[in-house]
Amino acid sequence: MNAPASEFELIDRHFRRAPRHADVRVGIGDDAAVIAPTPGMELAVSVDMLVEGRHFFAGTDAEALGHKTLAVNLSDLAAMGAAPRYALLAGALPDADEAWLARFMQGFRTLAERHDVELIGGDTTRGPRNLCVTVIGEVPPGAAITRAGAHPGDDVYVSGALGAAALAVRALGGDVRLAHDVLARVRERLERPEPRVALGLALRGVATAALDVSDGLVGDLGHILERSGCAAVVELARLPADPAVAERLHGADRDVALACLLAGGDDYELCFTAPRAARERIDVLARELAVPATLVGTLERGHGLTVLDEHGRPLAPLPASFDHFG
Amino acid sequence: MNAPASEFELIDRHFRRAPRHADVRVGIGDDAAVIAPTPGMELAVSVDMLVEGRHFFAGTDAEALGHKTLAVNLSDLAAMGAAPRYALLAGALPDADEAWLARFMQGFRTLAERHDVELIGGDTTRGPRNLCVTVIGEVPPGAAITRAGAHPGDDVYVSGALGAAALAVRALGGDVRLAHDVLARVRERLERPEPRVALGLALRGVATAALDVSDGLVGDLGHILERSGCAAVVELARLPADPAVAERLHGADRDVALACLLAGGDDYELCFTAPRAARERIDVLARELAVPATLVGTLERGHGLTVLDEHGRPLAPLPASFDHFG
């Protein structure tokens, strides 16, 4: 057995690397990183904290967790239309398990490199497992896609498919039984979400509002409605449900399927709005990126979200979104 | 009793404010904040995670903790010579205790406003208490003070006084007995450290290297020596010991006093190096800022740190610095 690694040995072995980009003037290993962002760009900055037992199960594969920890943050940048550039990683770990850390960083780095994100800083301490990532991205002045720019008459879109991650949580918790291969597939969606970075960039100048669906469509679309001062009517039949969720919409598990589809978090798809005139452009860009973008409803004057069921009747009550203090 | 607050209600009540500065294009409440930093400036970015039971005692006054959570981060920017601009706060809390949160944010905001720092983003979740702050500051191109710029022949300085915070930890843990008023004073140093922001800014172009003493002088100065490729000789008698530490250097508690002075973390003073030619300039700026800057030793060729005792003999072994995985 080797002696337990010190905090600084851990940092040296697992976090510090020579800066890959010239704009990183000072990388990991000083009191702060120093960056020289692209002149004239605005910066989008976001932070997300993932707690063991809350955001991920104890025993989650470390490599998948490394991926997800960064993915949920890149998803926030994607929702702003920002190009990811830098990340900082702070982590509390119950022990100095280097094998775990190496696998975690492998997942983190593989995703980071795919999006050309440089890890510029961090902090490591002992404590109940908690991972906190800050990401910084760039966006041209005024081009960030906020939650506040939607207008009555705009279309509402959802990328990819919804509900798989929430279904996986229910299956892992024993509430739902899934075939082995189905569970493996939805669990992959839960544990290794793909941030919609390319779609977010393509939506600059097209989408009027956007966010990522992290807490469930009802609650998240609700944020756009509230911030933009609109109402929305969404059709259940149009929602891009994951196949395993879709097939449960018409049977004994309908309530579970509705909850996964409408209030299930963790899919990290984008929900966005755009004027009707942009329909063809959105179809083209979605096809070019090979990311489904499904038209699911429309914005109206007023406030609140109406989801129409298969018979055109409003679903009531709507399943509630995930609330960390609920 | 009111109903428990939801995550979004907590954010609205305690975190969201209208942006105070025009360079904050999008503040709290979207997927990411958007900032337009001062053109031509480089950005210093740092993150620190504070864990209950590790970095602070359970039951620490919430207002003091709010102060300290930001202070330790501003201290990192100070050590780079960067002007603090923005902060993001992610926190795991065991419950939605709004009175606690209000007091915490009062401490955080009071310090933030004093340094004109704007809270631009955050994340709130349930979990074992853990506070993670990211700060962003500005520094002119090439002006950041790193750990790597020191040269043999440079002087070594320490700001303020060392050892009080570590003595407070020992007293609170029952290892040392302190008079009531002394404990109150050193505890204040532990719980409400003042980041040396103005000193850090004044040291731009003067200091060749700097860092904040967060883990203890031996270890922290060691980082400068390692990164700059120097040795250092420091005189114990010159070190600016807190009075309560100084008076214990010559009695039964000498080992404790040495440990607090040389290896005690949490004082958040600056340790910096500068050429001999800068002595007068440093005396002047320290006087103008009313922050003591004490010349404690010199850099030499070679490697390693030597601390000479009151008789000019090397202290050996040197007390070890704090290690989160030690």
Residue of B24, B25, B30, B75 best to disrupt the A interface, most CBs of A under 10 A: B30
Burial of B83 (0-12, 13-18, 19+ CB in 10 A): buried
Write out pLDDT tens, residues A6-52: 766 776 777 777 667 789 999 998 999 999 999 999 999 999 999 99
The CA distance from B312 to B310, in Å, is 6
Instruction: Assign a CATH topology to domain A155-308.
Output: Phosphoribosyl-aminoimidazole Synthetase; Chain A, domain 2 (3.90.650)
Write out pLDDT tens, residues B62-115: 999 999 999 999 999 999 999 999 999 999 999 878 899 999 999 999 999 999
Which SS3 state, helix, strand or coil, does residue B247 take?
coil
The CA distance from B244 to B251, in Å, is 12
Chain B residue with minimum CA distance to A94: B325
* CATH 3.30.1330.10 fits domain A7-139: yes
- The reply to whether omega before A317 is within 30° of 0 (cis) is yes
pLDDT averaged over chain B?
92
> In the predicted model, is pLDDT for residue A308 greater than 60?
yes
Chain centre to alpha carbon of residue A23: 27
- Residue A182 host element (H or E): helix A180-191
pLDDT at B9: 72
Mean pLDDT, residues A87-93: 96
Write out pLDDT tens, residues A138-173: 999 999 999 999 999 999 999 999 999 999 999 998
> In the predicted model, is pLDDT for residue A325 greater than 50?
yes
pLDDT at A59: 86
Q: Are B107 and B64 in contact (CB under 8 A)?
A: yes
Name the CA radius of gyration of chain A, rounded.
20
The CA distance from A320 to A261, in Å, is 11
Chain B residue with minimum CA distance to A50: B125
pLDDT at B326: 47
Q: Are A87 and A45 in contact (CB under 8 A)?
A: no
Cβ partners under 8 Å of residue B62, min gap 6: B100, B101, B103, B104, B107
Query: Which of B30, B36, B123 is nearest residue A147 as measured by Cβ atoms?
Result: B30
The answer to whether the Cβ–Cβ distance between B128 and A125 falls below 8 Å is no
- What distance in Å separates residue B142's CA from the closest CA in chain A? 8
The CA distance from A272 to A280, in Å, is 15
Dihedrals phi, psi of A147, to nearest 5 degrees: -90, -5
Mean pLDDT, residues A180-205: 96
pLDDT band of A293, cuts 50, 70, 90: very high
Chain A residue with minimum CA distance to B34: A44
pLDDT band of A321, cuts 50, 70, 90: low
Every domain of chain B and the residues it spans:
7-139, 155-308
Dihedrals phi, psi of B7, to nearest 5 degrees: -55, -40
Tokens of B268: 């958040």
Residue of A23, A30, A125 best to disrupt the B interface, most CBs of B under 10 A: A30
Tokens 């080992």 -> residue: B255
The CA distance from B326 to B321, in Å, is 10
pLDDT at A228: 97
> In the predicted model, is pLDDT for residue B317 greater than 90?
no
Q: Can you list the positions of beta strands (E) in B62-151?
A: 83-93, 118-126, 130-139
A212 chain-B contacts, CB cut-off 8 A: 31
Write out pLDDT tens, residues B257-302: 999 999 988 899 999 999 999 999 999 999 999 999 999 999 999 9
Tokens of B64: 């003091």
- What distance in Å separates residue A324's CA from the closest CA in chain B? 6
pLDDT at A319: 84
pLDDT at B146: 97
> In the predicted model, is pLDDT for residue B196 greater than 80?
yes
Backbone torsion region of residue A140, taken as left when φ is above 0, otherwise alpha when ψ lies between -120 and 50, otherwise beta = beta
The CA distance from B243 to B226, in Å, is 30
Chain centre to alpha carbon of residue A200: 12
- What distance in Å separates residue B253's CA from the closest CA in chain A? 28
